Amino acid sequence: MRTLRLLGDGAVAILAFAAAFLARIYLPIPFTRSLLPEDRLLFLFEEWGPALGVQLVSLYVLGFYDPPRPRSRPELARRLLAAVGLQALLLMGWYFLANRVFPRSVLLLYLVIDFLLLLGWRLLLDRTDRHLERLVAIVGCGENARELAEALRLHPWHGLRVAGFVPRPGEMPPPPPESGADEVLGPCLGTADDLPALLAEGRVEDVILAGSDDSWQSRLLDRMAGTRPAHTNVLLLPGPFESLIGRMRYRWVHDLPLVEVVRETEWRINWPLKRVLDLAAGSLLLLLSLPVLAACAAAVRATSPGPILYRQTRVGRSQRPFTLLKLRTMRVDAEAESGEVLAQPGDSRLTPIGAFLRRFRLDEVPQLWNVLQGSMSLVGPRPERPGFVQRYLQEIPGYAERFSLAPGLTGLAQVNGDYHSTPQNKLRYELAYLANWSLWLDLSILLRTVKIVLTSRGV
């Protein structure tokens, strides 16, 4: 469906451009014709390329190629109007910088026709793009299983519906309620031994294994984190199940394959390259953001008493504390009574401009100075406050491993998860980033962060 959306959006751009140009020629529109070239077909053939490229870029930035989520018609129209507005800015910039003569009437007609065609095309897709539901059985009945089942219930557009659960071997299922089915997990479908029969009978189509975070392997990682030498490797002799997991790194000892769970840190080798990216991109971003930063600082000063910048102690790489800089978005005495607490949606402690700054992540811009200082990187796990870190180290198995990395201005959890996602879920993304780091992954996360900022997603 993503390919179909891409092809259809491109076809809409070409069709709208041709329709605007032909309407400009043959319809009695009260605009000057002095800018129309003599060889009009050649002009049409040469000029549709920028419209096509700008169409796809603007729709990507506004999130129209993300996994589809249900949208009302007014919301779809508003988002498409924003995409067409972005196209207008990009096309005007292109024609100005390329020093090309282009009829403004054709551009105006193109934008109107393109919006109408896109709206009709996307409404048609919404009617035809109906995901077939697949019934899944969740193996496990602990906190992880319940979190997963609740997420699937709240977000049905993923196309997965929980048919019930099966306790893991050795796990005690919760006592059944009077209705006979758990409100979140559904009915108990039997034991793990019954799964082959459930699949063969068609009662379920997929199986999701929801294991426990509190395993001896996770506790071992916690005990080693921060104390193991940089050249340490942890290897696993996999069984048949682990061998089927894709994209794992192997090492062979004679004819035995060992999976590299934790390997000798690559940061000693790749850190200079990552640091060059931080310095180059961080300097450029800070320079470009200075006018916006000045306007936001003036707004903070004008709307609430207190300092413009907010300095806060956070925990960085190797659990070393550092001072993080932010534009102040809350009252000066926001935590005088409550102590350290996480921000919540609609937080009453926000200043008049604070909600806007957080919505578009503008309060995070001063952290570019932390990046240039070296206490942070552009991409990495978000730095947490010392009180939360101490609590999470006690409550979340494997949490200490995230401090192998420098904290980041953005990260995999920020571009894939929600702003108020749980620490446990963010840790999954952070460890996945640690295991799969590459320069291209950093560039991809930075690009997706720009899209999230422009669409203010996740707040």
Would you call 112 helix, strand, or coil by DSSP? helix
Count of Cβ atoms closer than 10 Å to residue 298 Cβ: 12
Look up residue 141 and give its two tokens: 């009945």
Is the domain of 272 the same as that of 416?
yes
Q: pLDDT tens digit string along 136-194?
A: 999 988 888 888 888 888 887 777 889 999 998 888 877 766 656 677 888 989 888 99
CA dist., res. 26 & res. 10, Å (int): 24
Is the domain of 255 the same as that of 335?
no
Q: pLDDT tens digit string along 364-391?
A: 999 999 999 999 999 999 999 999 999 9
Q: pLDDT tens digit string along 283-316?
A: 999 999 999 999 999 999 998 888 999 999 999 9
Is 153 part of a structural domain of the chain?
Answer: yes
Is the domain of 259 the same as that of 400?
no
CA dist., res. 319 & res. 59, Å (int): 40
Threshold 0.85, pTM exceeds: no
Is the domain of 250 the same as that of 107?
no
Q: Does the CA dihedral 112-113-119-120 come out positive or negative?
A: positive
Residue 402's Cα: distance from chain center in Å?
Answer: 18
Q: pLDDT tens digit string along 218-258?
A: 778 777 776 677 667 777 777 766 666 656 666 565 455 66
% of the chain at pLDDT higher than 70: 79
Predicted confidence band at 125 (pLDDT cuts at 50, 70, 90)? confident
Contact 419, 458 (CB under 8 A): yes
78, 99, 128 — which closes off a domain? 128
Is 216 part of a structural domain of the chain?
Answer: no
Is 217 part of a structural domain of the chain?
Answer: no
128, 145, 162 — which closes off a domain? 128
Is 145 part of a structural domain of the chain?
Answer: yes
Q: pLDDT tens digit string along 80-120?
A: 998 999 899 888 888 777 777 667 777 888 899 999 999 99
Contact 449, 419 (CB under 8 A): no
Is the domain of 309 the same as that of 377?
yes
| Structural domain that includes position 260 | 231-264
Give the pLDDT score at 459: 47
Is 71 part of a structural domain of the chain?
Answer: yes
Q: Check pLDDT > 90 for residue 63.
A: no
CA dist., res. 216 & res. 228, Å (int): 17
Is the domain of 278 the same as that of 248?
no
Is the domain of 238 the same as that of 310?
no
Is the domain of 151 the same as that of 202?
yes
Is the domain of 279 the same as that of 167?
no
Is the domain of 167 the same as that of 183?
yes
Indicate the number of domains in the chain.
4
- Average pLDDT of the chain, as a whole number: 81
- Which residues make beta-bridge pairs with 256? 253
CA dist., res. 432 & res. 443, Å (int): 16
